[in-house]
């Protein structure tokens, strides 16, 4: 195939006055163009076609801009006839303008309504300029600019580790069956649903496809009528380690709807087409992002969308750019796309690597939303989760018996198991004890990578007045008024040297056993200080240290 030149072609028709004898000047006082006050009547029309880009999207989301720079090198002023047409070979498809204009830029547009059902491939924009009446010499001009008509769009976006890490996630109740799990740590983040025999970019009715919204159910992915997980037409959540600059892997469409609803190639990567690349918002475009139909393109984000522990509704936006013969890249009008992906910024996963210990979507969603960008380290994350559990979950201490409702021990105080699915549904209500709170805190914290283990304080020790979870006044956590614990479960990341406790708040002033009381959450308090504020009883000792809580359904 002959190589196509993308430079603008300028063609002049023969002048009606024979050989060019130079400009003819006439005397005049207004509209003069020379120092002697003369006005030129010589017309040499020289239009120049300037396209917004050398490629247009046939179903772009806005009109394609065209500017005709109407010049007259003879210097003649006045309205010049100008006709601009969009054509395929000798066939005129649309007259874009046909009027008279003063020399200067003339702005026109190619509406997507004209091009939406055309074949992809090469077209031409032609501008023909004439001369005003009364010209002593007339030399009309014509300019042509090639325009490649393509269909531009991605059908799939994946979010990968980039320079950091993508952390595993798991749905715990596929089709609402608790224990029926589906890991999504490697699932494609967002994918359009394309029916058999349909175009990649357009649905059966010819409507432009859009990316699906984030999947809202935190327990189960979508399933079909047979209970099988559906991955097409879904946008799954993605968990990234804090600070990760992810790789976005975009999959270009191969087919689009053409004339009479028939499938046709998008034209991306066609030998006759100018190079096209994708440009992701917030990341400099590069020649390495050249787009060809069906060949995935990888773009690394310039900045991390998760600089801290947070739940982020991240709108990934991109557009396409085309390269002209002079090497300049220009945005293709109306070629923008976007998809919103729910991202979780986490520190990692210190809970486990196999179900049911994998990070649960429902837990990570709640935990990252609670931290809401206030921390990018483990200590700050744990502190935020203490506050969330203690103040925001609507939980209350079991004032009748101090019994556990979601946690069980295997004989002694070791090997705790936490019935997480039951807790998420509040199957046993919102009444908890210290073992439950330690399980909730350690599990939530571990599932976002801020490691915690539990420690048991023994045994049979007196208490200072405390503010138990769900309580409004300092005092005994029990209806009986008893100020003592038979045991107490807390969490720590360093063998009880530092304590995190979501069960209660202590008195934070200099006299923790006496009124007045100053509420102080236990968010990384030294183990020694904690025992003094909690009890002051020498019988209170850290006994079962660095114990691990296992998750069950």
Q: What is the pLDDT of residues 37-61, one digit of tens each?
A: 588 999 999 999 999 999 999 999 9
* Cβ contact 151:259 at 8 Å: no
Q: How much is the average pLDDT of 245-250?
A: 98
Q: Cα–Cα distance between 256 and 397 in angstroms, integer? A: 61
Q: What is the pLDDT of residues 179-228, one digit of tens each?
A: 999 999 899 999 999 999 999 999 999 999 999 999 999 999 999 999 99
pTM of the model: 0.88
* Cβ contact 219:171 at 8 Å: yes
* Cβ contact 491:416 at 8 Å: no
* Cβ contact 319:332 at 8 Å: yes
Nearest partner of 337 among 436, 192, 121, 223, judged by Cα: 192
Q: What DSSP element (H or E) covers 381? A: helix 378-387
pLDDT at 266 over 80: yes
Question: Could you give the C-alpha distances from 57 to 72, 147, 334, in angstroms and in order?
Answer: 32, 10, 7
Between 13 and 329, name the one with better pLDDT.
Answer: 329
Q: How much is the average pLDDT of 338-367?
A: 98
The tokens of 526 are what?
A: 């030294």
Nearest partner of 436 among 488, 506, 360, judged by Cα: 488
Share of the chain above pLDDT 90, in %: 91
Q: Is 461 helix (H, G, I), strand (E, B) or coil?
A: strand
Structure confidence at residue 321 as a pLDDT band (50, 70, 90): very high
* Cβ contact 493:438 at 8 Å: no
pLDDT at 39: 87
Delineate the domains of the chain, giving CATH numbers in brackets. Answer: 43-150 (2.60.40.1940), 154-346 (no CATH), 377-551 (no CATH)
Structure confidence at residue 275 as a pLDDT band (50, 70, 90): very high
Q: How much is the average pLDDT of 344-362?
A: 98
β pairing state of 170-171 and 234-235:
unpaired
Give percent helix, percent strand, percent coil of the chain, each to the nearest 5. Answer: 10, 40, 50
pLDDT at 11 over 60: no
Close Cβ partners of 257 (under 8 Å, ≥ 6 residues apart) = 117, 199, 201, 202, 206, 263, 264
| DSSP sequence for 120-170 | SEEEEEEEEE---TT-SEEE-EEEEEEEEEE---EEEEEEE-TTS-EEP-E
* Cβ contact 552:419 at 8 Å: yes
Count the Cβ atoms, other than its own, within 10 Å of residue 227.
12
* Cβ contact 56:333 at 8 Å: yes
The tokens of 26 are what?
A: 């006439």
Q: Cα–Cα distance between 419 and 425 in angstroms, integer? A: 10
pLDDT at 252 over 80: yes
pLDDT at 269 over 90: no
314 strand-pairing partners: 341
Structure confidence at residue 261 as a pLDDT band (50, 70, 90): confident
Q: Cα–Cα distance between 548 and 443 in angstroms, integer? A: 10
Q: What is the dihedral of CA 342, 343, 346, 349, to 10 degrees?
A: 70
CA 108 to chain centre: 34
pLDDT at 37: 59
Q: What is the pLDDT of residues 450-491, one digit of tens each?
A: 999 999 999 999 999 999 999 999 999 999 999 999 999 999
CA 552 to chain centre: 33
Residue-level length of the chain: 553
8-22, 37-51, 79-93: least confident range: 8-22
Nearest partner of 552 among 431, 433, 427, judged by Cα: 427
7-21, 41-55, 73-87, 524-538: least confident range: 7-21
Q: What is the pLDDT of residues 411-451, one digit of tens each?
A: 899 999 999 999 999 999 999 999 999 999 999 999 999 99
Q: Cα–Cα distance between 259 and 245 in angstroms, integer? A: 42
pLDDT at 329 over 70: yes
Q: Cα–Cα distance between 28 and 26 in angstroms, integer? A: 6
The tokens of 159 are what?
A: 């979010």
Q: What is the pLDDT of residues 398-409, one digit of tens each?
A: 999 999 999 999
- Average pLDDT taken over every residue of the chain: 93
Q: Cα–Cα distance between 447 and 439 in angstroms, integer? A: 12
| DSSP sequence for 26-88 | EE-SSS--STT-EEE-EEEEEEEEEES-SEEETT-SSPEEEEEEEEETT---S-EEEEEEEEE
Q: How much is the average pLDDT of 310-321?
A: 98
Count the Cβ atoms, other than its own, within 10 Å of residue 85.
16
Q: Cα–Cα distance between 330 and 53 in angstroms, integer? A: 5
């Amino acid at each position: 195939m002959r190589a196509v030149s993308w430079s603008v072609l300028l063609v002049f028709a023969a002048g009606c006055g024979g050989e060019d004898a130079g400009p003819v000047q006439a005397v005049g006082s207004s509209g003069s163009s020379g120092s002697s006050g003369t006005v030129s009547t010589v017309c040499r029309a020289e239009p120049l076609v300037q396209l917004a880009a050398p490629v247009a999207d046939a179903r772009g989301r806005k009109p394609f801009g065209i500017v005709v720079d109407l010049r007259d090198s003879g210097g003649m002023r006045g309205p010049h006839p100008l006709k601009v047409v969009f054509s395929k070979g000798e066939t005129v498809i649309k007259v874009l303008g046909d009027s008279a204009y003063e020399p200067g830029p003339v702005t026109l547009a190619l509406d997507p309504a004209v091009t939406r059902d055309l074949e992809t491939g090469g077209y031409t924009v032609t501008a023909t300029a004439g001369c005003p009446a009364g010209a002593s010499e007339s030399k009309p001009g014509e300019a042509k600019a090639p325009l490649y008509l393509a269909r531009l769009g991605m059908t799939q976006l994946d979010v990968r580790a980039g320079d950091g890490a993508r952390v595993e996630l798991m749905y715990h109740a596929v089709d609402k069956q608790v224990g029926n799990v589906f890991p999504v740590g490697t699932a494609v983040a967002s994918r359009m649903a394309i029916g058999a025999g349909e175009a990649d970019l357009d649905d059966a009715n010819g409507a432009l496809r859009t990316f699906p919204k984030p999947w809202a159910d935190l327990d189960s992915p979508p399933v079909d009528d047979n209970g099988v997980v559906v991955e097409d037409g879904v946008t799954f959540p993605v968990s990234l380690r804090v600070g990760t600059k992810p790789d976005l892997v975009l999959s270009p469409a191969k087919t689009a709807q053409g004339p009479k609803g028939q499938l046709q190639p998008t034209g991306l990567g066609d030998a006759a087409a100018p190079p096209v690349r994708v440009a992701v918002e917030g990341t400099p475009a590069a020649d390495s992002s050249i787009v060809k139909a069906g060949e995935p393109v990888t773009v690394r984000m310039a900045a991390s969308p998760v600089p801290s522990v947070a739940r982020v509704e991240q709108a990934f936006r991109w557009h396409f750019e085309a390269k002209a013969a002079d090497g300049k890249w220009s945005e293709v009008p109306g070629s923008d796309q976007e998809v919103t992906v729910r991202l979780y910024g986490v520190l990692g996963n210190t809970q486990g690597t196999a179900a049911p210990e994998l990070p649960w979507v429902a837990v990570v969603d709640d935990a990252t939303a609670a931290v809401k960008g206030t921390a990018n380290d483990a200590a700050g994350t744990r502190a935020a989760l203490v506050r969330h559990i203690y103040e925001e979950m609507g939980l209350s201490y079991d004032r009748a018996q101090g019994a556990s409702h979601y946690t069980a021990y295997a004989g002694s105080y070791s090997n705790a198991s936490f019935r997480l699915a039951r807790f998420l549904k509040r199957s046993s209500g919102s009444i908890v004890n210290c073992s439950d709170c330690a399980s909730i805190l350690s599990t939530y914290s571990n599932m976002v990578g801020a490691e915690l283990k539990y420690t048991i304080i023994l045994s049979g020790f007196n208490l200072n007045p405390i503010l138990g979870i769900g309580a409004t006044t300092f005092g005994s956590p029990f209806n009986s008024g008893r100020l003592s614990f038979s045991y107490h479960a807390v969490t720590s990341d360093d063998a009880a040297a530092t304590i995190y406790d979501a069960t209660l708040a202590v008195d934070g002033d200099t006299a923790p056993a006496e009124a007045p009381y100053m509420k102080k959450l236990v968010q990384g308090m030294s183990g020694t200080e904690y025992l003094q504020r909690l009890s002051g009883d020498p019988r209170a000792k850290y006994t079962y240290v660095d114990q691990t809580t296992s998750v069950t359904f």
